[in-house]
Structure 1
Amino acid sequence: MRILSRDDYLRFLEADRRALGQTRKRPRFFGDEVWKFQRLLRAVEYYENCKRAWYHRPALIYLCSKFHLYSVLLGFTIPQHVFGPGLSIANRGSIVVNSCTRVGANCRIHVGAHIGARAGTDTEAPVIGDNVYIGPGAVLYGPITIADRIAIGANSLVNRSFMEPDITIAGVPARQVSSRGTSKFRNDPARPPEAAPPEGERSGQ
């Protein structure tokens, strides 16, 4: 699921805005840093895929520089072309994602999450479905598959595939702890009620 046209780009931007719970059309000048980061992520993806002519090169260099600045500022190591539309990063803080990871739509990811490749390789990384919730401090690694609408509990270690959708997994190593996945949660399907910010709070503040 990649940005391959301007329509895709606008669709990703709108899906991310809704997933973050934002009611404004654009971030404020001060604040909303996580939202700004996600918009830069999508802009870089759009230019890399759709604006390859030489005269677009200066704009891409500028966007990549600004994207790197926000990555350092917020503590994110999140590469392009990994997350589908509807990405919701809960807050600023350390998040590390391998560039070979593939994540579907409507992912909610928290601080401390680490998604990596199997030891000894940079390419054998997780494939994660749609509407998946990744709790604070969760670690996923290796060539594993996570089905749609799975909730991953805080501080879990996930080193094997879970092919059954609509479940909750947790623990070290992770195992199924509930038959209730993210599809039963209110509002954002990838945001459990206990993880949703208080009324009026915005991501990145």
Structure 2
Amino acid sequence: MIQNKKDYYYYLQADKEALDIKRKSPRPIVDDIWKFQRLLRKLEYTVNCKNGKIAKFYILLLKYRFHKFSRLLGFDIPINVFGPGLSIAHRGTIVVNGGARVGANCRIHASVNIGTGKDTSTTLVPTLGNNVYIGPGAKIFGKIEVGDNVAIGANSVVNKSFESNVTIAGSPAKIINHKGSKDLLFRYETLKEKE
């Protein structure tokens, strides 16, 4: 979670690397997803780090812009869910519960749902580790934990916990190999690099 300006700049840079973007700033027409992610991080920073009357007004303005942009792209992604290095692959429906927690360097595709199980509370939601790849159409739900370096195949239904360094697929999901997500991410960090 973004706690200060240094974190904010780190998240922006990590997201840019995860999207494999070399330009300094977004182009007006084709960089909608990068612009969305920058707005997401700005809203997170402002909500988490600013207070006062002017900040409250600015937060309302950012929330309005964020809501409008989310609807345009088909995203329902709340703030403070994804760690640094988020990479949204395409426009399209992505629905994420506000109680879910996803670690650093997540690549997520269209038609993904990360939500609750039978209960709609924010306590029965998934926790995903670092360096997770989520294929198109994956459904991840319930009070489960998915470890680091996991690749989730397209159209998988994940409703139980999985260990680190595996590839899972199917409905219900099961381990299909131990390759993991390393070759599927533009930005990949090992635990040693983080320290």
**TM tier relative to shorter chain:** over 0.9
Aligned twin of 2:15: 16
Equivalences for residues 49-88 of structure 1 within 5 A: 49-88=48-87
Equivalences for residues 1-205 of structure 1 within 5 A: 2-123=1-122, 124-163=124-163, 165-185=164-184, 187-189=186-188
Which consecutive segments of 4 or more residues in structure 1 shift more than 6 A?
Answer: none
Tell me the CA shift for residue 184 of structure 1: 4.6
* 1:166 partner SS: coil
Task: Measure the CA separation in 2 of the matches of 1:92 and 1:22.
Answer: 17
Aligned twin of 2:192: none
Q: Which moved more, 1:49-58 or 1:69-78?
A: 49-58
Q: Percent identity?
A: 50
CA change 1:181–1:16 in 2 (3 A) is: same
Q: Which moved more, 1:143-152 or 1:23-32?
A: 23-32
* 1:65 partner SS: helix
CA change 1:85–1:179 in 2 (3 A) is: same
Cα offsets for 1:92-133 (capped at 9, x unmatched): 000000000000000000001100111123221000000000
Task: Measure the CA separation in 2 of the matches of 1:46 and 1:186.
Answer: 25
Tell me the CA shift for residue 58 of structure 1: 2.0
CA change 1:76–1:186 in 2 (3 A) is: closer
Tell me the CA shift for residue 25 of structure 1: 1.7
Aligned partner letter, 1:50: C
Normalising to structure 2: TM-score of the pair? 0.93
RMSD over aligned Cα atoms: 1.3
2:18/2:186 contact within 8 Å kept: no
Q: Which runs of 5+ in 1 are unaligned?
A: 191-205
Normalising to structure 1: TM-score of the pair? 0.88
* 1:140 partner SS: strand
Tell me the CA shift for residue 53 of structure 1: 1.7
Tell me the CA shift for residue 61 of structure 1: 1.4
Aligned partner letter, 1:137: G
* 1:21 partner SS: coil
Task: Measure the CA separation in 2 of the matches of 1:87 and 1:14.
Answer: 10
